Structure formats: C-alpha cells, structure tokens
Copies of this chain bind each other. A is one copy, B any other.
Amino acid sequence: MVKVGIVGASGYVGGELLRILLGHPEAEIVSVTSRQHVGEYVFKVHPNLKGMTSLQFTAEDPLTVASKVDVIFLAVPHGVSCKITPKLAETGVKIVDMSADFRLKDAAEYQKWYGWSHPAPDLLEKFVYGLPELHREELKNTSLVAVPGCMATAAIVSLAPLAKAGLLDGPIFVDAKIGSSGAGGKPSLSTHFSERFGVVRVYKPVGHRHTGEIEQELKYVSGKKFKVGMTAHAVNMVRGILTTSHAIVSSKPEASKIWKAYRSMYTSEPFVRFIMDKKGLYKYPDPKITIGSNFADVGFEVDPYVERVVVFGAIDNLIKGAAGNAVQSMNIMLKFDEREGLNFPALHPV
C-alpha cells in the first residue's frame, strides 16, 4: 500500500480525490488537510462520503504531510502551490499538483496568460504535464506531476491526434461549455442558484488561461505552433465539459484519415473512447455520457462547406478533468495498473 496525503481536501476536487482514493486498492489515505475544517469529519464536508470513511481534516502543514506519505496531492489554489512546492520537492516526496502552477514549461507563458511572474521557474521543466495520453513515458520516470486544466484536457485529448497527424492548419477556436462544479464550492452571486439556473453564460470570451496549455501540448505533439482562441460558457449542469473546436484546415482531410489519426494515437488508451455512431442519440461526445467516469470521449465532423473540422471532446471535469487524471498519473508513476481505482463506468441516465 502506498501512503497518500491530500493538502486542501475540502474543495470539490479534493472531495473527488478522496472518493476515488478511498476505492483504490493500493492507496491508503493518511492525511487530509483543510485549514477551514480542522478536526471535522471529512463526511461533514463531503456528505457523499458518509459511511465510507471516518477520516478527519487536519491542519498539518505540507511538509509534515510529506514526511508521512509516499505521494502528496496538492489541491490548493493557483499561486499557492508554487510557494510550497520547492521545499516539498526537496524531500523527495512524489507530488501531484492539481493547480496550474507547474503546467506551463515556459515561465514567460505565465506572464502572458496569468499576468504573473513565476516564483520558481527552475522547477517548471522538472514537472511532467500529467496527461497520460501524451506523456505516459515521462510519467513513469518522474516524481513531479502537474495535472492539466479541465478544459485544456478536453480540448487537448480531442485535438492532439489531428495536430500530430498534420491534419490541421490553424487557428483553432475552442468553444467550451462547462458545469458549475468547475467554479468550485464557494458561493457568490454568479453561482447563486436563481441566477445560475438555466444560463448559457459567457464567462470568459477571450484570453482564457487554459489557452497556454492547449497551445503548449499541441506543439508538443506536432512541433507546430497553433494559435488558439477560446471562449468559455457556463451551462445548466453541475458536472461536465464539452469543447467544440472549430479547427481551420486549408484542405479538408478525409474522415478516414482523422479516424486513423485517433486510432494510431489512442487505440490502447484505457480512458479514451471514439464516439462515432451514425445513428441514435450518441453520435458525438456529450459530457452527460461521461459523468462519474474517467473517460474522455472524442469525435469530429468534417465540414463539407467551410474550411474547418469540428472536433468534440467531452469529460467529467472533476474526474478526467482533475482527480481521475491525477490518480491515473499517480498509477503510472507508481507502476500500478493504470486503471486501478478508476475502473468504473459513468452513470446513465443521471
């Protein structure tokens, strides 16, 4: 059994990590911290875990946690992780960082997308971008993982094979739709039910921070710099992301080539599904069909009229978009079966 700790376990991502790790046959959770809930039972904050665990939140600082565990998950806000990670990394503990602080390789990109000067740029290249579909081999040989952003995950997994196969010319317009859980557990007017119910609310029309990750990873697989324009919408659901990418192509690829690109990259992937039915309800990826699972569903359509391919990526933002992807990365890093603890299907209907 590997010992794990979770720093900042009271948020939705922390709760989902707990849910998954409690069912992981090789993991033992030995410390979960939350400043706000010190001494409280975990199930008081995450009511779905009642009857599943008697863990309590502690106020242990990250270094203390690190001294007790093999793997530490950081579910802390952006800007916090980069302050505590340098010392943590020195201890040799394996770190899985859920924040954005080590996703980008180039410190200048933090300035560009976050308006922010990175305090520990030397660590950036030591972190592996925790997307197994692109970085499995690196994950096997690292102890530092930066878990991708949720919308970035949906976009990258769905677009990478086309980029890698040279089928896209760019730019790429990523039109993203996301549920409320992506905004976290803190109440505000924007998440007030009467105001949030039924919206199709544009909350980040341009300049979304995940753009940097998407560009970085598409370049990683293709060697080519794609410009990405992202627009993010909040829609009327709690979990789920769909990215609809309108990807410019100068000469339209045949559908068979795109399928070949997907297959050549993902055939053995345990958590990527090709959605390709020509009839019925499930013709294209839909987050509804991923809720509760670690699957990323991908699909596409070539536009016969305009010079674009439309590419779809659907995930459960808290699982493949966060905690599930984190555990999948941990499994690889620890040489476990990659599916360990994650081998559950989505709920349907839900």
A302 neighbours in B (Cβ, 8 Å): 206
Q: Which residue of the partner chain B has the closest CB to A189?
A: B187
Q: Which residue of the partner chain B has the closest CB to A295?
A: B51
Q: Which residue of the partner chain B has the closest CB to A112?
A: B305
Residue-wise, chain A 4-28 has the 8 Å CB interface mask toward B (1 for contact) of 0000000010010001001100000
Residue in B47, B235, B310, B349 whose beta carbon sits within 8 Å of that of A194 in the complex: B349
A22 neighbours in B (Cβ, 8 Å): 345
Residue-wise, chain A 286-306 has the 8 Å CB interface mask toward B (1 for contact) of 111101110100000111111
User: Is A161 among interface residues, defined by CB-CB distance under 8 A?
Assistant: no
Given contacts A200-B177, A303-B207, contact A246 B229 (CB under 8 A): yes
Q: Does the CB pair B231–A310 fall under 8 Å?
A: yes
Q: Does the CB pair B200–A44 fall under 8 Å?
A: no
A235 neighbours in B (Cβ, 8 Å): 177, 200, 235-236
Q: Does the CB pair B198–A238 fall under 8 Å?
A: yes
Q: Does the CB pair A238–B197 fall under 8 Å?
A: yes
User: Is A85 among interface residues, defined by CB-CB distance under 8 A?
Assistant: no
A264 neighbours in B (Cβ, 8 Å): none
Q: Does the CB pair B187–A188 fall under 8 Å?
A: yes
Residue in B192, B205, B273, B350 whose beta carbon sits within 8 Å of that of A284 in the complex: B205
Q: Does the CB pair B291–A348 fall under 8 Å?
A: no
User: Is A30 among interface residues, defined by CB-CB distance under 8 A?
Assistant: no
A347 neighbours in B (Cβ, 8 Å): 19, 48, 239, 291-292, 347, 350
Given contacts A187-B189, A233-B242, A280-B44, contact A286 B206 (CB under 8 A): no
User: Is A228 among interface residues, defined by CB-CB distance under 8 A?
Assistant: yes
Number of chain A residues close to chain B: CB under 8 A: 94
A229 neighbours in B (Cβ, 8 Å): 246, 303, 305-306, 308, 310
A201 neighbours in B (Cβ, 8 Å): 281, 284, 286, 288
Q: Which residue of the partner chain B has the closest CB to A240?
A: B200
Expressed in whole angstroms, the Cα–Cα distance for A287 and B285 within the complex equals 24
Expressed in whole angstroms, the Cα–Cα distance for A81 and B285 within the complex equals 35
Q: Does the CB pair A198–B345 fall under 8 Å?
A: no
* Chain A interface (Cβ < 8 Å from any Cβ of B): 12, 15, 19, 22-23, 44, 46-52, 171, 173, 175, 177, 180-181, 183, 185-202, 205-207, 211, 227-229, 231, 233, 235-240, 242, 244, 246, 270-271, 273, 275, 277, 280-289, 291-293, 295, 301-308, 310, 312, 314, 343-350
Q: A173-B173, A177-B233, A187-B188 are in contact. List 5 more A-B contacts (CB 8 A).
A: A193-B197, A194-B238, A200-B242, A202-B286, A205-B312
Return 15 A-B CB contacts under 8 Å, by A number: A15-B348, A47-B289, A50-B273, A177-B233, A187-B189, A189-B281, A193-B196, A194-B238, A197-B237, A200-B286, A207-B305, A229-B305, A236-B237, A347-B350, A350-B350
